[in-house]
Amino acid sequence: MSTVAAPRAPRAQPPRARGSRALVLTAGLVGALALLALAVGLSLAVGAKSVPLGDVWSALLHPDDSYTSSVVASRVDRTQLGVIVGAALAVAGVVIQGLTRNPLGDPGLLGVNAGASASVVLGILVLGPAAGRSVWTAIPGALLAAVAVYLIGSGGRRATPVRLVLAGAAVSAVLVALVEAVSLTQPLVFDSYRVWVVGSLAGRPPGLVGQVLPFVVVGLVLCALLARPLNALALGDESATSLGLHAGRTRLLGGAAATMLCAAAVAAVGPIAFVGLAVPHVVRSFTGSDHRWLLPYCALLGPVLLLVSDVVGRVVARPGELMVGAVTAFVGAPFLIAAVRRGRMGL
C-alpha cells in the first residue's frame, strides 16, 4: 500500500540566509499575534448587539453595570474558549500530520473525535442529558480511543504511520456505528447529542475554560518540546534513528500530546472540522516544514480562523447565528486553496 509523502524536512541554508529568514518569520509571528488580537476584538464586539471596539476596550478595563459592559462580559468566556480550542486543534493537526507523515492528517485521524462522540452518547444514555454538557463526559472516550488506536497500530511491534492510520480508521468506524446505533434508537439521547455534535462556542456551561485549559497548556508545552524531534522524524524512521532519535518514543509522546489537545477541544465545544487540517497547510505554505516555526504560527492562526468563523456565523444569520462548526470550512477553504495553488506546502 502506498502512502502520500510527508512534509519534507527543512533543508539546510547558509547562515546569512537562515538569519534573514528567521527575521522575516519572527516579524510574521508579530503580525499573526496582531491578527489574533483583532479577531479577539471582533469576537467581543460583534453579535446580535454590536459594540464599537473602543467601547469594548473601555468595558474590559473599567467594567460597570451598563448594558455595553454586560454584553462584552457575556462574550468573554466564548472568546477565551475560541482561542484555546483553535490553538489546540491547529497544533494537534500539525503534530498528527508530522507523526503519520500524512498531509491529510487531522485531529480525527487517531479516533479522538469518534471516541469523544461515543463517550458523550453513552454518558447521556446512562447519566441523563446533563452529561452532554460536561467536559468530563467526552474526555475519557477520546483518550481511550487514542490508546486503542496506538495499541492496534503497534500490534506488539513498532507503530508505523500506515498502521496508525489504518487503526484509526477501523476504530473510528466502530465507534461511529456505536454512536449511530444508540442515538437513532434513543430519541432523548439524540436530542441532547445533536446539540453537542454540531460544534459551537455558544451556550457552553460556565467554568468550562478552567476545565480544559490545563489539558491544553500541558499539550502545547509537550508539542513545543517535540519540535526538533518532529523535524527529524520527517526524514523517515531510519534516518531519524541514525541521528540519535528514538522514533517510537517521539511518536508516542507526540500522539499523547495531540490526543490531549484534541480531547480537550472536542470535549469543550464538540467536533469542529477543518481547523486541524487547513491551518497547518496554510502556515506551511510560507514557513516551510520546520516545526519550530509551524507550531507557534499554528497556535496563533488556529484561533484566528475559529474566532473569525464564529463572528461570521453571528453576522450572516442575524438575529440568530450559525454554529461555528458549520462555518469554518467556508471561511478557511479559500486560504487552503490558495496555499495549494502556490504549491509550497512541502508535499
**Can you give the residue ranges of every domain in the chain?**
87-272
Lowest-confidence segment of 5-9, 144-148, 203-207 by average pLDDT: 5-9
Chain segment 23-65, per-residue pLDDT in tens: 889 999 999 999 999 999 999 998 878 888 888 888 888 888 8
Residue 175 pLDDT class (50, 70, 90 cuts):
very high
- Residue by residue, DSSP assigns 131-164 as GGG-HHHHHHHHHHHHHHHHHHHHTTS---HHHH
To the question of domain 87-272 being in CATH 3.40.50.300, the answer is: no
d(CA 113, CA 119): 10
Which has the closest alpha carbon to 118: 267, 274, 277?
267
Residue 222 pLDDT class (50, 70, 90 cuts):
very high
Mean pLDDT of all residues in 218-241? 85
Asked if residue 298 lies in contact with residue 280, where contact means CB atoms within 8 angstroms, the answer is: yes
Burial 159-170 (b: 16+ CB within 10 A, else e): bbbebbbebbee
Name the phi and psi angles at 197, rounded to 5. Answer: -70, -20
Chain segment 80-115, per-residue pLDDT in tens: 999 999 999 999 999 988 888 777 777 777 888 889
User: How many CB atoms are closer than 10 A to CB 328?
Assistant: 27
- CA torsion sign, 185 to 186 to 191 to 194? negative
Lowest-confidence segment of 82-91, 154-163, 183-192 by average pLDDT: 154-163
d(CA 296, CA 288): 13
Query: Is the pLDDT assigned to residue 230 strictly greater than 80?
Result: yes
